[in-house]
Each structure stands twice: as C-alpha cells, then as structure tokens.
Amino acid sequence: MGEIAASSTEGGLRKTDGHMVAMAAELKTNYAALAKVIHLITYGANINTIYASIFGGFAGGAEGCAIVDTALSVAATLVHKAVFHCARPMHVKYVCSTFPEALWALNITGMAISRNSHLLSGSSTFTAAGPCTDMILYESAAQTIGATVSGCAGVLGHGPARSIHRDRATGLESRFMGEVSQASTELSLTSANEIVKDIIKKYATKLENPPLGKTFQESYDVRTISPTKEWSGVYESVKKDLADRGLEL
Amino acid sequence: MAKMSEKLVGDMKEAIRNGDSEAAKRAADLAVSEGIDLTAAIKELSAVMAEIGERFSRLEIFLTDLMMSGEAMKTITDVFAPVLRERKLSIARIGKIVIGTVRGDIHDIGKTLTAASLDAAAFEVHDLGVDVTPIAFIEKARDVGADMIGLSALMTTTMPYQHETIRLLEEMKLRSKYRVVVGGGPTTREWAREIGADEYGKDCTEAVRICKKIMEVR
C-alpha cells in the first residue's frame, strides 16, 4: 500500500526512481512481492531487487552465497522483471555484509555478472558498526572498493548498526561511500585487493560486538543538517588513512 | 554384547555427524534388534548433537548440515520411541517449544536454524513453519502442552504480530502459562521489552541458552 501511495510523478516516487522489490532468502518470492511488481509494471517504473543470501544458512558458505547471489540476478530479472540487482551475503550471526567471506562472494558475483551478462548489479553495505565510528567507514570502504572494481554499476547506501537500531543512520557514511566508489574506479584489481585486505584487519575482530556509535541526532546538527565536529573529524581521519594507503578521495 | 553395542552406537554417531538418515535408520534398527541399552545410547548421541550445535555456532558447518544431522538423530529416536514406550521409558527432553515465523512473513532461515539448534539441544520442538497466525501458535501450544512459544519475525511490518500473539494470550488468560521468546532480524531487546515478551534471542545460540535458562526455573 505504501508503494502505491508513494508512486507519483507529481512529488512522489517517479518512474525513474529505484523501486525496491525484495526476494526472500533463498530465492523465494511471494504474492505481496508479485503484487508490487504488477503495480510497478503498470506504473511504468524501474524495478530494483534487494536481496541477502544468508551466510551460514541454506546458501552455506562463501561459495554458496556467491552462486545464490549470481542466480538472484537471473531470478529477479525473470520473475520480478527487475533491471537492477543489489545482492550481498549477510552473516547469520553478525547480521552484516562486511565480513571477509561476504566481500569475496560479493566481488566474485559482481565479476561474474559483469563479465557474462548485461545485467546491472549494485552494492549496498550493511555495517555492524553505527554512525560516528571509524569502524562504519572502514566497513563501508572495504565493501565499496571491492564492489566497484568488481564491476558493480552503482552503490546504494547503508544499513548501519545492523539496521535494527532506531535513528542510527546519517548521510555522511553514504556520502563517504560515494566518494570511495568514485576514487576506486582508478584502482586495479590487485591494488584494490591489497587495500581491502589491510582495511579488513581494522574491524574484522569487532564484528561480533561492534560499536553502535551515535544516533542521527547526536551525530548531526539537526538545524543545519550537517555532521557534528566529532563525526566530521572521524570522517577526515579515515579519509586521510585511506589516502595514505593509496586511495585518495 | 558390549562390543556390538559400542559398534552400533559408533555407527549411529557417524551417521549423525554425516547427516545420513538412511545409515542412521539401519544402525538404529539393528540396535533395537540386538537389544542394546537405548537410553544410554541416546545420551551418547545427544552429546554428538550438542557437538554439532557447537560446530554450527562457530560456523564450521552450516544450516543444511545441522538440519541433516538433526534429521538423522530424529530417525534414530523415531525407531527407539515405540520400544522405550513399551518399556515405559521415554527420551528425556529438556522442554517443549512451539516455534514459527509470524503471520505475513515467509522468511524461515532464522526460525529453522533456531528450531534445529533447539532440537539438537534436546528440546521437543514443534515447528509450525511460516505465516503462522497468533491463534495457531496458541492452539498448538495448548495441544502439546508447550512450555514456550518462539515467535520469529524478519520484517518490521510483521513484528507487530509478535505483539498480537502476546495480546491474544492475555485476552485468553493464558499469558502466564507460556514463556514467550521473540527473535528475528529487525527485533531487538528493547522491542521484546516493549511488547511484553519474556525473552529475546538475538541468534539461535542465544535462543538455546535462554530456553535452557527458562526450563531451569520452570
């Protein structure tokens, strides 16, 4: 109902905006999703897929997740008439997409789709850490660098702090993601790999008990909608660190 | 006899580790016909299931492996159960739980993981599947004499059905009869507190720990 209510060329979600229709893990659809597809086809909108294979679940390990996420592009194209696919593994315990095995699977999937089809794939990052932490930015950078050099067509933003805590999302981490992706287009696969291997070391051991960071209201001046000095400071510090590693934003 | 018993228990352990229900049934049938101590066998096999549960919590194995081992164990207990009933013995279960994914929600991986982990931990699990209405949870809990009801929701739009189930228990004056445990991707401890659930399980490992704790005080 929300999708129908928001679909409008007059101040609502335009036909050219990304309308998300999710597939459930693993590779399942349902009547609610199909009803949404019918509405979007009738409206004449682009349909985007959002999906997460479960690492440790029916997809198994990294290899299984890579296969499932690749298959998702085909399934969503045929069943949901989707034109853009955003799939990544989610860890069954950590509930994030930035653990090392997931990055490998995401990157392999991106390469497979990019090399063997004309389908569009994207990357959205579900971080364990929350805003106003350096960890969220390192998680974002690790996933975004790999996704970009592996052929994904676009980056879609974040689900910070496992996407379950109220008010724990800001615009700065997504701006950072865009900057990282743009800068990563200059990297070779080899150099990107070395940078990401280094970055992962900064957060991989903290995924089980990550810092939640701060809420939007604590990280931003809500009157000017700009990051606080603290959050800007974290951002600048990580930017400098990435530049020292060879990725100038 | 002791050697045969050791061999057959060894075969059943191997079948469980390999998730091989056919091999499990063969060994279980032989165990019954050879008259080995079934209660002692189950104790040893339960330890293997616990070991498998631990391996899963470390993600050395995945959900399908856990489920196949659980199926193999169930195959064995299904063979043993009538014999134990005849002898007026039973397979010791820590507690009974009715579990499912709430109404309007077809996500089942987390719920299935938790059900398999609870089964491995010697709970009697009644898995109602997905898209389960509040009344269906309650009726099943009544039918089987459950100790706990486990409610899984994987979408913010279906989380309210966890609250709905608790409200219905209160309306039917059954709230104190069952301990309610909630979980699922978008749920949090705060949510569980807000809706009056007894416990929150952030993952299947915590769910098992919580259910064991519940049964200790029940």
Q: What is the pLDDT of residues A31-84, one digit of tens each?
A: 989 999 999 999 999 999 999 999 999 999 999 999 999 999 999 999 999 999
What whole-number percentage of chain A has pLDDT above 70? Answer: 100
Tell me the shortest Cα–Cα distance from B74 to chain A, in angstroms: 20
Locate A82 and state its tokens: 């989707």
For the domain made up of B96-217, the CATH class stated in words is alpha beta
Identify the pLDDT of residue B164: 97
Q: Which one of A28, A30, A165 has the shortest CB-CB distance to B188?
A: A165
Nearest to A103 by CA among A148, A72, A59: A148
Contact yes or no for A24 and B63 at CB 8 A: no
Residue B58: CB atoms within 10 Å: 9
Q: What is the mean pLDDT of residues A203-230?
A: 96
Report the C-alpha gap between B216 and B206 in whole angstroms: 15
A249 is a domain residue: no
Mean pLDDT score across all residues of chain B? 91
Question: The domain containing residue A104 runs over which residues?
Answer: 2-244
Contact yes or no for B62 and A26 at CB 8 A: no
Q: Which one of A58, A93, A164 has the shortest CB-CB distance to B203?
A: A93
Confidence of residue B110 (pLDDT cuts 50, 70, 90): confident
Predicted ipTM of the assembly: 0.79
Report the C-alpha gap between B181 and B201 in whole angstroms: 7
The pLDDT tens digits for B70-86 are 889 989 988 998 888 88
Identify the pLDDT of residue B186: 87
Q: Where are the domains of chain B?
A: 2-86, 96-217
pTM: 0.83
Q: Strand B179-183 and strand B148-152: pairing?
A: parallel
CATH number for the domain spanning A71: value is 3.20.20.460
Identify the pLDDT of residue B70: 87
Overall number of domains in chain A: 1
SS (H, E, C) A136-179: HHHHHHHHHHHHHHCCCCEEEEEEHHHHCCCCCCCCHHHHHHHH
Tell me the shortest Cα–Cα distance from B6 to chain A, in angstroms: 33
Does the structural domain B2-86 have CATH classification 1.10.1240.10? yes
Report the C-alpha gap between A84 and B34 in whole angstroms: 61
Interface contacts A/B by beta carbons within 8 Å: 47
Nearest to A219 by CA among A127, A129, A132, A130: A132
Contact yes or no for A164 and B63 at CB 8 A: no
In this predicted structure, which of A86-90, A106-110, A222-226, B70-74 has the lowest mean pLDDT?
B70-74
